[in-house]
Amino acid sequence: TPWVLGAIDEAHRIGAMTALLTCAKLPSHAVADHHILLDTGPELVTGSTRMKAGTATKITLNTITTCLFVRLGKVYQSRMIDLRATNQKLHDRCLRILHSFVPTLSRESANQILDAADGCLRTAIMMSHLDASADQARNVLEQSDWNLSEAMNFCDGHKAP
């Protein structure tokens, strides 16, 4: 739409990298640095973009964001670990994920570790792995730019700092 292309033009004008995901070819005047074309063909019902094009777009965006989360270190062993226990639902999720990494932890112990980690699941996992304080776990995580996988690999066989 003209509105989307106008936003891409403005982003490009101010020097931002731009990308556009479409199910149609770009007009010749579009300036997106990256264009992902999902050639889904015509819709079964003309005028209804919620079917093939909408589904293809949703799947593609889910794939892109999942890959980015993994690459940014927000996922460890196929579990989201960049979580903060800021409400009851997230608190319970953090406890379940922490327990999946350390099955011997009681719920009470996992809760104490998560509380000591100020609700930060990544810190709580590192604390459990190292049998260390929150400050020690944060120190190790900071050394690995908060990448849990790198921190775990670094610490295997080492004592907590």
pTM recorded for the entire structure: 0.72
How much is the pLDDT for 46? 82
Tell me the pLDDT band of 160, cut-offs 50, 70 and 90: very low
pLDDT digits (tens, 9 = 90+) for 53-101: 889 999 999 999 999 999 888 999 999 999 999 999 999 999 999 999 9
Q: Which segments of the chain does DSSP mark as H helices, in order?
A: 2-13, 52-71, 88-101, 107-116, 121-130, 134-143, 148-155
> In terms of DSSP bridges, do strands 19-22 and 34-37 run parallel, antiparallel, or are they unpaired?
parallel
Contacts of 1 (CB under 8 A, 6+ apart): none
With beta carbons less than 8 A apart as the criterion, state whether 31 and 9 touch.
yes
